[in-house]
Structure 1
Amino acid sequence: MGTKPVLVVHGGAWAIPDEFAERSILGVKNAVKSGFAVLEMGGSSMKAVEIAVRALEDDTVFDAGHGAVLNADGYVELDAIIMNGKTLAAGAVSCIRNISNLVIFACSVLEKTPYVMLTGMGANQFAEKLGIPQVPVEELVTDHAKAEWEQYRKYNICRKS
């Protein structure tokens, strides 16, 4: 009897607002189905993880890629990391502002460079050389993220007074 693959996906560690609960569950299920389809077609576990994470990054209910949470200054700064469990090799990117599928970029760092992590403007410049698609920052920010940032800003102003 052979072992069957398992793909586990979670949609983040936060208190999911009631208005996002159903969409969040559907989004996680979609990510699992997308990744598992890769495994069923004989694809690698790394590719399955990449595809599952891309599904989360493309879904605005999650805060990776589209739906990005804004930092304290109101900017998008996204991070991603992927690790090969067999070799323990990893690829990571951080402080990225205009790439919607960071997992693709993290995979490229793992597969196409001698580095483990790229960050900031230098990483963005390298992404361009690799042909990683870049998007206008506004495409990544939802109305919900803007409202959350405004709430944070108001609270922070009140705390400083």
Structure 2
Amino acid sequence: MRTVLVLLAALACSTSLMAQDRSAPRQAPGPEWSLAIHGGAGTLSRSDMTPERDREYRAALQAALDAGVRALAGGGSALDAVQTVVMQLEDDARFNAGRGAVFTWDGGHELDAAIMDGRDRSAGAVAGVGGIRNPITLARKVMEESPHVMLSGKGAEAFAAEHGVATMPADWFDTEARREALEKVKSEQVSALDVDIKFGTVGAVARDRAGNLAAATSTGGMTGKRWNRIGDSPIIGAGTYADNRSCAVSATGWGEYFIRVGVAKAICDRRLLLREDMQVASDTVLAEVKALGGDGGVIVVSDEGEAVFSFNTGGMYRGRADSAGLNEVAIYADE
């Protein structure tokens, strides 16, 4: 009996230590810090891009990646790094988030964003907001200065005003290319999938030197969206998720399918529960999205600092870097 009691006590102690270990940042054998970013996935091929446009997108991705690298290399937090990256992409009219966001059916802009801290899984999100220069900044305000996770529409805009979040006039978000896309959707009665060569989302995921993870995602949604449609980007567990015990994920794709699969959390759960290889976990969940009829991609950073991409489209604007010297940007699937 004494032997049994000793074994049970040892098992309880071991289980307790395992639980404690799983909740703390994992001391990775890999890089001290790592970062991955994206600017949307879709039907991207070299035939769709002029050499000049290709260079412009690569330069924009590199600039955003470099901004995040500076934050992490300087000892900054993963949370600050992902916000920095997304803010830069929101201000770049080449991407469908913030300035350059697609038009709704009624000719306006409805912006969504989310951010999540892997340390305690606190999160903030906004949906269907207008006039907010950097929706990701507002999402972080919601996380840190409200008792809520998600605010939407006029309420979120009122909260932004109370907290001094920067706004811009409605026409600051407009671009001619996005207006032409809306006109095509209306005049030719086609879907957003026929006019948007890529899904409109930007995002970043990071692991900092302290072992903490964070994820951030921002989008203008789909061209011609109606009835205050909201996709996966601001939904915690679908388009955005971070947990120090497993991984950080930012998704881009056909939001309705990513919501149904719960893509971001599904990937992290495979890592947490199965200790599955990060690439395998990401590819498996994206295959499920594909099987249902959805397209898109994800960027992921694991608890050990591995940065991976997975997408089931012709390409994805993407980049990654780490403290071991990795630094790359890419667009097409064959890169």
TM-score w.r.t. the length of structure 1 is 0.91
Give the counterpart of 2:121 among 79, 88, 97: 88
RMSD value, Cα: 1.6
Once the two structures are superposed, what CA deviation does each residue of 1:20-54 show, in whole Å capped at 9, x if it has no partner? Answer: 43322221111110011011111110000000001
For the structure 1 residues 2 and 21, does the alpha-carbon distance in structure 2 shift closer, same or farther, using more than 3 Å as the test? closer
Displacement of 1:74 in angstroms is 1.9
Write the distance in 1 (CA, Å) between the matches of 2:140 and 2:43: 29
Residue 2 of structure 1: how far off its partner (Å): 6.9
Which of 45, 53, 74 aligns to 2:78? It is: 45
Alignment of 1:2-21 (within 5 A): 3-16=31-44, 17-19=48-50, 20-21=53-54
Alignment of 1:3-152 (within 5 A): 3-16=31-44, 17-19=48-50, 20-152=53-185
CA contact (8 A) 2:113 2:127 kept: yes
CA contact (8 A) 2:33 2:73 kept: no
SS in 1 for 2:118: coil
Please say if residues 91 and 108 of structure 1, whose CA atoms lie closer than 8 Å, have aligned partners that are also in contact.
yes
Q: Structure 1 residue 128: deviation in Å?
A: 0.3
Decide whether the 8 Å contact of 1:38 with 1:48 is kept in 2. yes
Structure exhibiting the larger radius of gyration computed from Cα positions: 2
Inter-partner Cα distance in structure 1 for 2:43 and 2:88: 21
Name the structure 1 match of 2:20: none
From the two aligned structures, give the one with the greater helix fraction.
1
Secondary structure of the 2:132 match is coil
Question: Judging changes above 3 Å, is the alpha-carbon distance between structure 1 residues 10 and 111 closer, same or farther for their aligned structure 2 residues?
Answer: same
> Residue 79 of structure 2 aligns to which amino acid in structure 1?
M
How many angstroms does 1:75 deviate by? 1.4
Cα distance in 1 for residues equivalent to 2:166 and 2:153: 16
Query: Match for 1:137: what amino acid?
Result: A
- The whole-number CA distance in structure 1 between the counterparts of 2:125 and 2:137 is 10
Counterparts of 2:39 and 2:81, CA distance in 1? 16
Count of residues in correspondence between the two structures = 157
Q: Give me the whole-angstrom Cα distance separating, in 2, the residues matched to 1:14 and 1:62.
A: 13
Q: Which has the higher strand share?
A: 2
CA contact (8 A) 2:91 2:98 kept: yes
Which 5+ residue runs of structure 1 have no aligned equivalent? none
Structure 2: 5+ residue stretches without partners: 1-28, 191-335
Deviates more, 1:119-128 or 1:1-10: 1-10
Moved more, 10-19 or 26-35: 10-19
Q: How far, CA to CA, are the matches of 2:152 and 2:135 in structure 1?
A: 12
Change in Cα spacing, 1:30 to 1:130, as seen in structure 2 (3 Å) is same
Cα offset, 1:130, TM superposition: 0.4
Tell me the SS of whatever aligns to 1:8. Answer: strand
TM-score by length of 2: 0.45
The answer (yes or no) to whether the contact 1:11–1:24 under 8 Å persists in 2 is: no
Which of the pair has the greater relative contact order for Cα pairs under 8 Å at 6+ separation? 2
In the aligned structure 1, how far is the partner of 2:79 from the partner of 2:147? 18
* Identical-pair percentage: 36
